């Protein structure tokens, strides 16, 4: 039996202290940052401009505040790990450098509001707990520079990995220059830069995976709930919104109007100009509907040339809106891909409802059938008109089975 003797490496106590504490700081930082990224994924629907055009400010402030609290832990670490050793600069520099990634993720995920909130939290905590006010002031200036670098970098038209590389490299060089001016030795400076580079690579891959997953989630959700051609809600999304509306109606006395619109003689457009022209007419018609339909109400393409609007208002108000849309469509010159143009008309059928009338989804389907009957009456009467279905008129036409 052979016994292998490994040479015992005598490590200087100070260097051992630095290496052990550095590894601990990096690992704890990655855990904190991973928690922040998880929080970003949970708040993604509320704060991301990819998912919502104008994210509510309160959620962006909340996201930035959470990032600031987590980053403040590293501020406390930098104060607690400051020692009387001559080489303490590396540990302190590492904790100072690592917290800037919280600023980056806040800016990336929640925009300027979240970024400023995180930066404010870091600054306040640093000034409260750091006994050296001059250093605190200088580090605040460094964080402001990092904020500016990140803000500019995120707006450059570069691939994500090159943007990350540019922001990380510039930030590391800026911080390294500051610590070199503060007397950090070359060996510690290189160790700091190497550690920061490793962390930058790890954080990039974590962020890349999370962001790609969220982007795919948004892509598939939108395709499942959005009409591909017009970008309006599709029939599946319409059914889901109707289910939520029925529940909401039980708690309000608000009147609602179901409006069904159908483009007149749409088949002749396809036959005369081609299906590409028909698609373009549908897109432009959808834009007109979007301009007139209040954002709080429901607008969806049901299929073909038929659209559904559910408006929060009575019949009289909704009938006026329908006539405004009808006149706008009749006066709009639709540009076609064939370099030609065409005029079209549209017919509307309306039916009203409220909580006394609608208690279940099936009740809402009956109201939609009444609006469909009103549309049929408008078509029969000559098209390009608005017809309102009164309760006494319902039942003249068999119920269409497409709502269920």
What percent of the chain lies above the pLDDT cut of 90? 35
Identify which of 387, 248, 394, 256 has the alpha carbon closest to the alpha carbon of residue 317: 256
- How many CB atoms sit inside 10 A of residue 27's CB? 10
Phi, psi at 65, each rounded to 5°? -65, -40
| Residue 13's pLDDT band (cuts 50, 70, 90) | low
**Alpha-carbon gap, residue 313 to 62, rounded angstroms:** 35
Identify which of 350, 348, 347, 354 has the alpha carbon closest to the alpha carbon of residue 383: 347
Most confidently modeled of 141-155, 259-273, 381-395?
259-273
Structure tokens at 403: 């709502």
Identify which of 256, 369, 255, 263 has the alpha carbon closest to the alpha carbon of residue 307: 263
**Alpha-carbon gap, residue 123 to 147, rounded angstroms:** 13
pLDDT digits (tens, 9 = 90+) for 162-195: 888 888 888 888 888 888 887 777 877 888 888 8
Answer for the pair 331, 344: CB distance below 8 angstroms, yes or no. Answer: no
pLDDT digits (tens, 9 = 90+) for 50-74: 555 566 788 888 888 888 888 887 7
3-class secondary structure, 88: coil
Of the ranges 25-29, 136-140, 158-162, 278-282, which one carries the lowest mean pLDDT score? 25-29
Give the β-pairing of 256-263 and 346-353.
antiparallel
Give the β-pairing of 306-311 and 256-263.
antiparallel
**Residue 188 pLDDT:** 79
pLDDT digits (tens, 9 = 90+) for 307-344: 999 999 999 999 999 999 999 999 999 999 988 999 99
**Residue 391 pLDDT:** 55
pLDDT digits (tens, 9 = 90+) for 84-109: 434 445 666 777 777 788 888 888 88
Per-chain mean pLDDT for the chain = 81
Answer for the pair 174, 96: CB distance below 8 angstroms, yes or no. Answer: no
pLDDT digits (tens, 9 = 90+) for 137-149: 777 888 888 888 8
**Residue 55 pLDDT:** 66
Answer for the pair 66, 106: CB distance below 8 angstroms, yes or no. Answer: no
**Residue 403 pLDDT:** 44
Higher pLDDT, 157 or 364: 364
**Residue 10 pLDDT:** 47
Higher pLDDT, 78 or 126: 126
**What does pTM read for this prediction?**
0.61
**Residue 278 pLDDT:** 94
State the burial class of residue 157 (Cβ atoms within 10 Å of its Cβ: 0-12, 13-18, 19+): exposed
For range 79-83, the mean pLDDT: 53
What percent of the chain lies above the pLDDT cut of 70? 81
In order, the DSSP letters of 179-239 are HHHTT--HHHHHHHHHHHHHHHHHHHHHHHHHHHHHHHHHHHHHHHHB-TTT-SB-HHHHH
**Residue 85 pLDDT:** 39
Higher pLDDT, 304 or 206: 304
Answer for the pair 91, 18: CB distance below 8 angstroms, yes or no. Answer: yes
Burial profile 161-181: b = 16 or more Cβ within 10 angstroms, e = fewer: eebbbebbebbbeebbebbbe
pLDDT digits (tens, 9 = 90+) for 194-240: 888 888 888 888 888 888 888 788 788 778 888 989 999 999 999 99
């Amino acid at each position: 039996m052979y016994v292998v003797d490994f040479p015992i490496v005598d490590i200087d106590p100070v260097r051992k202290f630095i290496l052990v504490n550095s590894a601990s700081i990096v690992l704890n930082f990655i855990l904190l940052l991973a928690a922040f990224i998880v929080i970003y994924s949970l708040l993604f629907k509320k704060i991301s401009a990819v998912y919502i055009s104008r994210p509510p400010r309160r959620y962006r402030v909340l996201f930035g505040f959470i990032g600031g609290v987590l980053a403040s832990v590293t501020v406390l670490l930098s104060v607690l790990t400051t020692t009387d050793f001559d080489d303490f600069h590396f540990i302190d520099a590492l904790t100072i450098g690592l917290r800037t990634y919280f600023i980056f993720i806040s800016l990336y995920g929640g925009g300027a509001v979240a970024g400023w909130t995180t930066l404010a939290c870091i600054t306040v905590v640093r000034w409260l707990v750091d006994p050296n006010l001059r250093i605190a002031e200088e580090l605040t200036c460094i964080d402001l520079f990092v904020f500016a670098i990140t803000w500019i970098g995120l707006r450059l038209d570069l691939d994500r990995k090159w943007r990350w590389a540019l922001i990380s490299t510039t930030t590391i060089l800026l911080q390294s220059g500051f610590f070199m001016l503060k007397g950090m030795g070359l060996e510690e400076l290189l160790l700091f830069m190497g550690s920061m580079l490793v962390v930058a690579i790890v954080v990039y891959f974590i962020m890349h995976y999370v962001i790609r997953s969220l982007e795919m989630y948004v892509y598939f959700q939108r395709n499942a709930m959005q009409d591909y051609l017009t970008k309006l809600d599709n029939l599946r999304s319409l059914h889901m919104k109707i289910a939520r509306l029925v529940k909401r109606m039980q708690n309000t006395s608000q009147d609602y109007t179901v409006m069904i619109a159908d483009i007149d003689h749409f088949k002749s457009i396809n036959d005369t100009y081609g299906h590409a022209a028909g698609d373009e007419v549908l897109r432009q018609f959808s834009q007109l509907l979007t301009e007139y339909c209040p954002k709080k109400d429901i607008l969806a393409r049901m299929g073909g040339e038929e659209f559904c609007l559910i408006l929060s208002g009575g019949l009289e108000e909704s009938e006026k809106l329908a006539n405004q849309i009808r006149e706008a469509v009749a006066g709009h010159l639709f540009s076609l891909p064939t370099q030609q143009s065409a005029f079209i008309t549209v017919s509307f059928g309306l039916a009203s409802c409220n909580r006394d009338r609608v208690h279940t989804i099936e009740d809402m389907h009956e109201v939609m059938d009444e609006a469909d009957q009103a549309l049929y009456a408008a078509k029969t009467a000559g098209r390009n008109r608005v017809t309102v279905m009164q309760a006494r008129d319902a039942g003249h036409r068999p119920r269409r089975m497409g709502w269920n």
